Amino acid sequence: MTRTLHVIGAGLAGLSAAIRLAQHGESVVVHEAAGQAGGRCRSYHDPALDMEIDNGNHLLLSANRAALAFLATVGSADRLVGPPHADFPFVDLKSGARWTLAIGDGRLPWWIFDAARRVPGTRARDYLSIARLLWPPRDAAVGDVIACDGALYDRLVAPLLLAALNTAPPEGTAALAAAVLRETIARGGRACRPLVARDGLGPTFIAPALAFLSGRGVTVGFGRRLRALGFDGDKAATLDFGDETVRLAGDDRVILAVPPVVATALVPGLTAPTEFRAIVNAHFRLTPPATMSPIIGVINGTVEWIFVFPDRLSVTISGADRFLDTPREELAKTIWREVAAVARLGDTEALPPWQIVRERRATFAALPAQERLRPGARTGLRNLWLAGDWTATGLPATIEGAIRSGERAAELALD
């Protein structure tokens, strides 16, 4: 009898697991609680803007090999676009300074020695702090390893690490910061090109993945929330979806790719991160000035990054729990004033159509104490493995981590 591999959750971790299993000719069924796939990486029609937007702006880097391979597999690699080199324009709203950090293509960081290409106000030797972060002591926070002040920190290290960790850098896990730096800046500009899903996350990641799975006979069931697991000794024996209970046959296997709070409720004795951080995104419908770069870093503002799309400007604020209770209108006005200044739009008062999207539990908090709670893909159950950006991937909660975790769980389930 052919065995069935059940994947629970159709976020990127679940989808990547299902794709890997389907590539091996396995019989795969995906069960997703929501009415659509994608989880925290999805597109939807926003009524206030009357356009398709993403639940959050997602930045990838050319170092994200698993994400790029995923897109190549499902045939949508060309939908991830970015500039040919790792050039990052920045604007400092306090001083008005504008500069472009130009990380050269090669591995050797020559750009550090060129005042025109490095961060203004920094000296070449300041960059040793980045080197110090590459191999930090276990369990350390970033603030234990480097001084969290000075021009290089304020203008480069802090924005980069806040975006990567979604946690205030001084308290962020140094090992995760190191993993990101080792895979990106330490490998030179070719690994640091910023990439964005031009047509949206749904059309780039999710729809092509679903089409790939459907082409291989994989069923993806929506509105299928796993409510409980039944056990028989050291194996999962049943999947309870409320209206239906699936009894697992002899060699059937399960990959649980759900958020940590759901996984800990389903699997007895499982530890997982318990603290989370929010991300706020603001979207403004307008045709941006043609001269704007696709991604702009903002220093000394509420806004941290501006993403430039053909029909809108979108803003990301990470570690944004302090804005969860701010009235939406007030937040939109503050953000718009800053966006208008960066875009050099004359009228900063009249708001174009806007939307604020707050994801409360955007990622787990990248703190050393939370890092210790991340479980591996293996569980105490012989036929059940875990996937998700919150499992012990060695990376912060990112698309890259989610996809790698799904592939790892699939490899173990195939073994």
Ligand X SMILES: Cc1cc2nc3c(=O)[nH]c(=O)nc-3n(C[C@H](O)[C@H](O)[C@H](O)COP(=O)(O)OP(=O)(O)OC[C@H]3O[C@@H](n4cnc5c(N)ncnc54)[C@H](O)[C@@H]3O)c2cc1C
Residues that bind ligand X (CB under 6 A): 8-14, 31-34, 39-41, 55-56, 58-60, 225-226, 257-259, 262, 279, 281, 359, 362-363, 388-389, 397-400, 402
- Count, in order, helices (H) and strands (E) of the chain: 13, 20
Specify the 3-state DSSP secondary structure of 30. Answer: strand
Residue 360 parent element (H or E) = strand 354-364
Separation in Å, CA 306 to CA 11, 79, 80, 314: 25, 19, 17, 6
**CB closer to ligand X, 109 vs 259:** 259
Q: 25: exposed, middle or buried (C-beta count within 10 Å: 0-12, 13-18, 19+)?
A: exposed
**What is the nearest approach in angstroms of ligand X to the Cβ of residue 305?**
9
Choice between 103 and 280, CB closer to ligand X:
280
Distance CA 266, CA 115 (A): 55
**Do 396 and 404 touch, CB atoms closer than 8 A?**
no
DSSP per-residue string spanning 136-196:
PPTT-BHHHHS---SHHIIIIIHHHHHHHHSS-GGGSBHHHHHHHHHHTGGG-GGGT-EEE
- DSSP β-ladder status, 27-31 and 219-221: parallel
CA-closest candidate to residue 39, choices 413, 400, 388: 388
Radius of gyration, alpha carbons of the chain: 22
* For ligand X, the closer CB: 259 or 297: 259
d(CA 165, CA 317): 12
CA nearest to 398, candidates 65, 17, 32: 65
Kindly state the smallest distance separating residue 291's Cβ from ligand X, in Å.
24
Whether the Cβ atoms of residue 32 and residue 6 lie closer than 8 Å to each other: no
Residue closer to ligand X (CB basis): 127 or 276 = 276
Our CB check for ligand X shows the closer of 111 and 309 to be 309
Handedness of CA 327, 332, 337, 342 (dihedral sign): positive
CB of 198 to ligand X, least distance (A): 14
Compute the least distance from the CB of residue 150 to ligand X, in Å: 26
The 8-class DSSP code of residue 365 comes to -
Closest CB 402 distance from ligand X, rounded Å: 4
Judged by beta carbon, residue 86 or residue 146, the one nearer ligand X is 86
Cβ distance to ligand X smaller for residue 41 or 413: 41
Cβ at position 270, least distance to ligand X in Å: 14
Residue 2 CB, shortest distance to ligand X, in Å, is 23
Q: Are 357 and 364 in contact (CB under 8 A)?
A: no
- The whole-angstrom separation of Cα 144 and Cα 158 is 14
User: For residues 387 and 390, what is the distance between their CA atoms, to the nearest angstrom?
Assistant: 8
Of residues 61 and 340, the one with the C-beta less far from ligand X? 61
Token digits of residue 164: 């990567």
Tell me the closest approach of the beta carbon of residue 141 to ligand X, in angstroms.
Answer: 21
Nearer to ligand X, 263 or 342 (CB): 263
Q: Judged by CB, which is closer to ligand X: 21, or 33?
A: 33
Taking the complex as a whole, how short is the minimal distance between the CB of residue 40 and ligand X, in angstroms? Answer: 4
CA distance 275 to 368: 11
Question: CB 39 → ligand X: shortest distance, Å?
Answer: 2
